[in-house]
Structure 1
Amino acid sequence: MRCLYSYAVADGLISEAENPAARVPKPRRLPSTRRALSDIQLALINEAASGSGNDPELDTLLLRLHEETACRRGGALALRRIDLDAEQCLVQLREKGETVRWQPISPTLAVALAQHNDDRAVGEHDGRLFRYRNGAPITRRRYDYLWSRLGKRLPWVATQQVSMHWLRHTTLTWVERNFGYGIARAYAGHDGRSAAGTTTTYVKADIYEVARALSALSGETHPLVAHLADEAVRRGVTLGANMLPAMPPSSVG
């Protein structure tokens, strides 16, 4: 109703003083019930997606992209073939607030995404990356179908209304616990403007630190930090634990 009346004011149908919504206090926004998933829950979701549905290859690729990049749904839907740098293992994400960033992905996912598009895009090199078997680009309805199906196989998914955004919480929580707030903030693609205080200006992380976190997350050495991994091996330093399950064979192409 606030939106409706604001349009009425903007269109000159009523004056600002005649806007009844302006006099009604906004209710307090309740904290989100989303949270990070456990390792077991994450594994069950991937297993259910890879073993059911009319296109498990597509669904497992979508899940893996969100698990590795912590991207939003809009970022995945906007992803184009030209946004994939398979050699450097990067994807260019365009998300809300007109933000654009290059996000590291594992070599396995980079190969799988390129193969997926090559098989389904029918010679179209600048269109959407994720496609159905008939070549048509996917829409938000694919996400609705996926989580509806997962909710039927895993009742707790439907009860708690788990969605792709829960995977964003899961990945960013893991990165923050293992690599700190600054790297988790860069991993999420958040800008420098924050109510958290001036300190966030000084704890910015670069793409190499994000790639290092991704390497630990996926268990695969990323090209951007290969030299750091080699140095860690020589020094006997452990970069981190592998949280994500192995990609199903059907997703690798």
Structure 2
Amino acid sequence: MAKNIQSLERAAAMLRLLAGGERRFGLSDISSSLDLAKGTAHGILRTLQAEGFVEQDPASGRYQLGAELLRLGNSYLDVHELRARALVWADDLARSSGESVYLGVLHQHGVLIVHHVFRPDDSRQVLEVGAMQPLHSTALGKVLAAYDPVAHSEALEADRKSFTARTVSEPDAFEETLGLTRARGYASDVEETWEGVASVAAPIHDRRRMPVGSVGITGAVERVCGEDGELRPQLIAAVRACARSVSRDLGAGRF
């Protein structure tokens, strides 16, 4: 069995110590509490401080938890609440559409799948929670890039790889696609990422009306699109209704 990395274990113990205290800790307090040499404790604290996980009071020199931990914690709580609020609505969408449902959030220049409901049939399927999808070609990603300024910047800066002949990769054409997404309130991906696969997704907003994720369905082109090659209107309506329901549950109000 692989051994744990000692320096990471010590850093974790240090963060737990600072989290459990009702006051700031001095270097001597930390080193004695964790049975570490002062030089070792100071080195770990310096690293944590550089990453924003620990802050040092300029006047006393004592240490406390940093703002970066709060940001990470809020990010986890936001995603956790988003997924919890979306569970029932995503199940309903899968049943009504007959297709797989995905819930995505912005993460590391892509779309992180945080919830996946299988297509309600007996076909063999693979759970894709934790998978990453591109921002520029998927319906989930285009929705985030259209409504979230950070996702927009990351999509423009990224290498917009052409996965198929239909992938929109040129900057001007991509911006036009995002404008259309905002105007319609949903994004589409008809064989732009995978041959024979089509998707439609809509944005989810929180109580501040900020975009916090996207929800959509994915399936075979012949099921998701009509004979004219366009997305089936009833599926678009179902996805948008799901997104509005989750948004309302997050406090966004009616829109």
Query: Normalized against structure 1, the TM-score is what?
Result: 0.29
Q: Which has the higher contact order (CA 8 A, sep 6+)?
A: 1
Greater CA radius of gyration, 1 or 2?
2
More strand by share: 2
Query: Normalized against structure 2, the TM-score is what?
Result: 0.29
More helix by share: 1
